[in-house]
Amino acid sequence: MKIVSLITARGGSKGIPLKNIVDVNGKPLIWYSINASSNSKVSETWVSTDSEKIAILSKEYGAKSLNRPTHLADDIIMPDDSIVHFANCVDFDWVVFIQPTSPMIKSKYIDIGIEMIESGEYDSVFTATKEHWLPRWNKNVEPIDWDIYNRPRRQDKPELYTENGMFYITRRENLLTSKLRYSGKIGVVEIPLIDSFQVDTTEDLELIRKII
């Protein structure tokens, strides 16, 4: 069973220019994902990118690089299309799709996901963090799924899983059939809150630099 990882890292970013290689305490952001993957059970670590600069850096850190077509690298395209493109170019049985915006990623989390797949119980897994109920409001200042006259206690509401986007694992044949990063029987790799943060904004970046 050949298990590879794919890190999708396009060059453009509106929020943070060249976000995927922005400095995070002396290392480019993508290094954290490449390092975690390289020290996990995956046999190959790949980076799909439209940026020559990202491709060169990725190779320096030991990853293989796949050129991503321009039409798969804009702000509108979901990364699922890039994973399918990868599956049509590279041979593997299972892929660990890693988003480089989660620098708290660790090889042990990837290995837990791989072990879940190896058990035969799941067709796909993804990372998530448990979320305790909190009162949420929409932008019209209206409560979402709760009543201010009958405010529930946190203990009375079920815990939920929130996807944190760290990584997803799926079988190649399922990916090519569904065109999705997960399908079939899906399992969850639970990530502690402290390791679940993503870098999407400059505020996120400053927070990560303080806690990493």
The yes-or-no answer on residue 151 being catalytic is yes
Q: In this structure, are residues 116 and 124 in contact, taking their beta carbons and an 8 Å threshold? A: no
| Coil vs helix vs strand at 177 | helix
Q: Is 22 exposed, middle or buried (0-12, 13-18, 19+ CB in 10 A)?
A: middle
4 close to 44: Cβ distance less than 8 angstroms: yes
- Could you give the residue ranges of the DSSP H alpha helices within the chain? 29-38, 52-60, 79-87, 107-118, 172-178, 202-211
How many Å apart are CA 85 and CA 123, to the nearest integer?
Answer: 20
Helix (H, G, I), strand (E, B) or coil at 46: strand
Tokens of 33: 């994902």
| Active-site residue (options: 10, 68, 136, 151) | 151
Is 128 in contact with 191 (CB distance < 8 Å)?
yes
* Residues acting as catalytic residues: 151
